Structures are given as C-alpha cells and as structure tokens.
Amino acid sequence: DIQLTQSPSFLSASVGDRVTITCRASQGISSYLAWYQQKPGKAPKLLIYAASTLQSGVPSRFSGSGSGTEFTLTISSLQPEDFATYYCQQLNSYAFTFGPGTKVDIK
Amino acid sequence: QVQLQESGPGLVKPSQTLSLTCTVSGGSISSGDYYWSWIRQPPGKGLEWIGYIYYSGSTYYNPSLKSRVTISVDTSKNQFSLKLSSVTAADTAVYYCARVPVMITFGGVIVHDAFDIWGQGTMVTVSS
C-alpha cells in the first residue's frame, strides 16, 4: 500500500492567517490526490481533487498543488468555519489510503 | 441533488457479522459514471477505505479486510450494502458510504479523482 504522511499533525492559527499543510506519499502518485475537510461529528467534505482542482462550491481561499510525492493544501486567509481536521487521500492505487490528518485549531 | 444515507444496527456482538446498507437518492446507482464505496473511521482516529462496487457487481476490497468483507448492490432498490464478518472491538467505528466518480484514460484504464459525495455516517459498536 502507498503510505501518506501529513505535516504538521496539529496546527494552531488565527483568523486571517495563511495556512499550509503538506502531504507526502511513499511513492509517486502522479496527481491522484484529494483533500477533505472534516468537522466533529460530520462526514468528510471534498475540497480539492486531482491535486489542484477546486471542488464546486468550495471557497477560492482553498488551493492545492503538487504532484508525484509531495503535495500542499493552502488556506490563504483562515476563516472561523475552517477550523477542522484535514485529510489527504491518494487514488493512484488500491487501497486508496488516507493521510493521518491535520487538525487546525484556534490560536 | 444526490444524497447517500447509511442504515443498519448500531450494536453488533463480537464474532457476528456487521451489515449496513447505503441508500442513494436523487440519482441512479446504475449510472455507469460511479463506483460506490464504504469507508470507516474508528473513534478519534483516521479514515480507512473498505472497498467499493460498480453497478454491474464488480468489486474491489482493501486487502487488509478482504477476507471478511462483502459488498453487494441492489439496483432495483438503488442501494448497496456492506457485510463484515467475524467482527471484534477493533471494528467499532463510524461507517460511511460515498460516491466515487469514474474516469477512463486514453488507455482504457479506470481511474478516480476523489470520493465526491458522502453519507452522514453511522456509528457501529462491537460489544457483547
């Protein structure tokens, strides 16, 4: 299986901050990477697919980049509703593994 | 607007079989444009892909669970189902169903970009 790591695992930030989360794959996955946002008690919500394509309806302050083994999710100006846990997922090969998550908390 | 809804028992005894159903509304499960997936999340932990199914019945499972998992589809009811046998406390989790869009490359290979629509999830506890 392809393993994904995320850094940091926990991030404390303030409203208006620029936030960057990194996801690294144990082998190349081209651009088959998605990012999800999950709030407590809720299902994950798709933010970014194909590494850099914004899902319809997702605010433009979210952006994704990268290919191969290193990817980033950037929130350009953190809003109160963005405090959540963020997961990356590779879809290059089975078993479609997820990263361990990055929790973004209020500073 | 397509919606997915999980249903099934919230409590299962150890060694028994966990059975869940996902009902798709607002769209047809028989559309050739999607696979239909199960994912789980133990309390306080991360996400684990269980497997998925095409409307034709073609399935792919996570190798770590393959010996215990069966996913089936009922196109007449617009539902797909999960069975997980010989459960233990380690199978206690929130179970989600999700839709997975299909893309076909120039070489005829099926690929996916994301799990784009998720159900709200259902908590299943394994306990005697």
Looking at residue B104, its pLDDT comes to: 87
Enumerate the β-bridge partners of residue B105. Answer: none
**pLDDT of res. B108:** 84
pLDDT at A11: 96
Q: B10 — contact with chain A (CB < 8 Å)? A: no
- Cα–Cα distance measured from residue B76 to residue B98, given in angstroms and rounded to the nearest whole number: 19
For residues A16-38, one letter each, b for 16 or more C-beta atoms within 10 angstroms of the residue's C-beta and e for the rest, the string is eeebebbbbbeeebebbbbbbbb
Tens-place pLDDT, residues A76-86: 999 999 999 99
At A18-47, the pLDDT tens digits run: 999 999 999 999 999 999 999 999 999 999
Direct distance between the N- and C-terminal alpha carbons of chain B, in angstroms, rounded to an integer: 39
pLDDT in tens, B4-40: 999 999 999 999 999 999 999 999 999 889 999 999 9
First-to-last alpha carbon distance for chain A, in angstroms, is: 36
A62: closest CA among A29, B114, A49, B113? A49
Mean pLDDT of chain A, nearest integer: 97
- Could you tell me which of A95, A44, A98 has the C-alpha nearest to residue B46? A98
A47 with A35: CB under 8 angstroms?
Answer: yes
Beta strands, E only, chain A: 4-7, 10-13, 19-25, 33-38, 45-49, 53-54, 62-67, 70-75, 85-90, 102-106
Which chain B residues contact residue A1 at CB under 8 A? 63
Closest by Cβ to A46, choosing from B64, B115, B120: B115
DSSP-derived 3-state class of residue A60: coil
CA B110, CA B80: separation in Å to the nearest integer? 20
**Residues A54-66: tens digit of each pLDDT:** 999 999 999 999 9
The pair of structure tokens assigned to B61 is 């499972």
C-alpha torsion B16→B3→A82→B101, nearest 10: 90
Using CA coordinates, name the residue in chain B closest to A46.
B116
- Most B CBs within 10 Å: which of A96, A97, A98, A102, as the mutation test of the B interface? A96
pLDDT of residue B107: 86
Kindly indicate the confidence band of residue B105, based on its pLDDT and cuts at 50, 70 and 90: confident
